[in-house]
């Protein structure tokens, strides 16, 4: 099953099982079914609960907040993740603050789904990875499944667990990819390594008995690229890599990969966003004493360079993190 289908089926099930579920987004009605077709077929089935809105990103997020405050469970689609900038006030000065700032315990269940990421030549305003803008905003959860997760299941988990605003980040190059629902892929074992955390964190490792040389921590659309790197380096250099892929991006589920870091001591973090003040920085600056003391080398963060993302695919590749960048980082820390 493809990443896209998995999400579409999950939305269908959510809508059919929950009369208070609402989907709002631009151009999401059939026959078009959304810019990336994630909502295809839903408006035909669920009528007024699927709102195809004007091009008003800020307002549709606000509309969702109001519906949530008044008993509904909205899922708002922002067509391109880059447009999340237009919703910043509603997210930061609205949804994320309401229950706490009003001194109340009410829930504000809501999902904003949006595709982030480049590698399709969409250029500077349609290719970014901007979830890091919300890393230091309290009371927002950021969730992003990879192709190794069951993205539809993660979306359903998000819907059923949500008590506050959730940003659900879909990497747009993952949409056509087949998802990996097996426990093994190319001799790599995939296992869930959650430790009292809510959203699935996966570990991909060649052989559970052998201690890895490196822990590679990544999420979303970088996960398959990291997997290719791990495979290559095993064949070329016999380097053993454990890839850890949380689906929960923020707050960082440290306890899930605590054991792996402690037993390995070498950490490379890979993200598609600009590496300065990004996910890697958030993780490395928040390692607890035990984790910090276990490190045998300074962790390396691989991410985008500090440029807007170019439209030319060739130039874009020079800006976004590539397999070669990840390999270089791993060889440096070994």
The least distance separating other proteins from the CB of residue 54, rounded to whole angstroms, comes to 6
CB of 293 to other proteins, least distance (A): 27
- Candidate list 16, 44, 45, 89; residue touching other proteins; CB under 8 A: 89
Tell which one of 53, 153, 281, 322 touches other proteins (CB under 8 A). 53
Is residue 15 near other proteins by the rule CB under 8 A?
no
Assess 54 for contact with other proteins (CB under 8 A).
Answer: yes
63 binds other proteins (CB under 8 A): yes
For residues 45 and 295, give the distance between their C-alpha atoms in angstroms, rounded to a whole number: 53
191 binds other proteins (CB under 8 A): no
> Residue 21 CB, nearest distance to other proteins (Å)?
12
Quote the CA–CA distance of 190 and 245 in Å, as a whole number.
10
Which tokens hold the place of 89? Answer: 């006030």
Number of residues that make up the chain: 334
Is 107 among the residues that bind other proteins (CB under 8 A)?
A: no
Stretch that binds other proteins, among 38-46, 91-99, 298-306, 313-321 (CB under 8 A): 91-99
The residue within the footprint of other proteins, chosen from 62, 221, 278, 299 (CB under 8 A), is 62
- Asked if the peptide bond before residue 31 counts as cis, ω within 30 degrees of 0, the response is yes
Asked if residue 138 binds other proteins (CB under 8 A), the reply is no
Q: In the chain, what is the straight-line distance between the N-terminal and C-terminal CA atoms, in Å?
A: 37
Q: Which of 61, 137, 143, 173 binds other proteins (CB under 8 A)?
A: 61
> Of 58, 153, 255, 294, which lies in the binding site for other proteins, with binding defined by CB under 8 A?
58
Indicate which single residue of 36, 46, 80, 98 sits in contact with other proteins (rule: CB under 8 A).
Answer: 98
- Closest to 310 (Cα-Cα) out of 85, 120, 78: 120
Find the part of the chain contacting other proteins (CB under 8 A) among 96-104, 213-221, 236-244, 319-327: 96-104
59 binding other proteins? (CB under 8 A) = yes
Select the residue interacting with other proteins from 67, 84, 310, 319 (CB under 8 A): 67
101 contributes a contact to other proteins by CB under 8 A? yes
- Under the binding rule (CB under 8 A), the answer on residue 153 touching other proteins is no
Applying CB under 8 A, the residues found at the interface with other proteins are 48, 51, 53-54, 56, 58-72, 74, 89-90, 93-94, 97-98, 100-104
């Amino acid at each position: 099953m493809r990443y896209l289908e998995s999400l579409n089926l999950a939305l269908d099930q959510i809508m059919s099982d929950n009369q208070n579920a609402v989907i709002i987004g631009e151009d999401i009605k059939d026959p078009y079914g959304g810019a990336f077709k994630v909502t295809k077929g839903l408006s035909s089935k669920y009528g007024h609960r699927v709102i195809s809105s004007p091009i008003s990103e800020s307002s549709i997020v606000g509309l969702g907040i109001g519906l949530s405050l008044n008993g509904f469970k909205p899922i708002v689609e922002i067509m391109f993740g880059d447009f999340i900038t237009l919703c910043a006030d509603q997210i930061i000065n609205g949804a994320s603050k309401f229950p706490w700032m009003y001194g109340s315990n009410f829930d504000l269940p809501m999902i904003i789904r949006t595709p982030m990421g480049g590698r399709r030549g969409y250029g500077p305003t349609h290719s970014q990875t901007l979830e890091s803008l919300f890393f230091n905003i309290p009371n927002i959860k950021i969730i992003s499944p990879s192709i190794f997760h069951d993205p539809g299941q993660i979306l359903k988990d998000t819907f059923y667990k949500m008590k506050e605003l959730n940003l659900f980040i879909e990497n747009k190059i993952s949409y056509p990819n087949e998802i990996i629902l097996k426990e093994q892929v190319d001799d790599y074992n995939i296992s869930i390594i959650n430790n009292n955390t809510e959203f699935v964190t996966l570990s991909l490792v060649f052989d559970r008995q052998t201690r890895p040389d490196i822990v590679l921590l990544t999420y979303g659309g970088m996960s398959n690229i990291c997997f290719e790197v791990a495979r290559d380096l095993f064949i070329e250099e016999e380097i053993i890599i454990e890839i850890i892929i949380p689906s929960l991006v923020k707050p960082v589920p440290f306890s899930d990969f605590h054991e792996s870091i402690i037993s390995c001591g070498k950490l490379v973090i890979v993200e598609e966003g600009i590496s300065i003040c990004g996910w890697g920085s958030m993780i490395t600056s928040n390692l607890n004493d035990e984790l910090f003391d276990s490190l045998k080398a300074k962790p390396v963060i691989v991410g985008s360079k500090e440029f807007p993302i170019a439209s030319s695919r060739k130039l874009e590749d020079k800006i976004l993190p590539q397999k070669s960048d990840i390999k270089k980082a791993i060889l440096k820390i070994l």
